[in-house]
């Protein structure tokens, strides 16, 4: 018996990425649309709390967010 791999063709999604100003490779990313709009109601309670916290830390701990393609 052999296992067949199936390639799934999905459209890329987007994330709103907040990069740490002090620690390269660290930050937060939240699913969004191509305009960077996050559906806050669809986030888990923990992700929602993180999203609110990181927005208040822009310029202090995190840079301005950027919309990035997520495959």
DSSP-assigned states of every residue in 45-57: HHHHHHHHHHHHT
- Positions of E strands within 1-71: 13-19, 27-32, 66-70
Tell me: the pLDDT tens digits for 34-64?
999 999 999 999 999 999 999 999 999 999 9
Band the pLDDT of 11: cuts 50, 70, 90: low
Rounded to two decimals, the pTM is 0.81
Rounded to a whole number, what is the distance in angstroms from the first to the last CA of the chain?
31
Nearest to 32 by CA among 48, 20, 16, 46: 16
Under the banding of pLDDT at 50, 70 and 90, the label for residue 71 is: confident
Q: What are the structural domain ranges in the chain?
A: 13-70
């Amino acid at each position: 018996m052999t296992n067949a791999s199936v390639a799934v063709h999905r459209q890329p999604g987007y994330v709103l990425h907040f990069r740490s100003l002090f620690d390269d490779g660290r930050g937060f990313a939240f699913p969004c649309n191509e305009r960077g709009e996050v559906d806050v109601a669809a986030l888990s309670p923990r992700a929602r709390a993180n999203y609110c916290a990181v927005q208040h830390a822009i310029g202090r701990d995190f840079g301005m967010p950027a919309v990035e393609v997520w495959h």
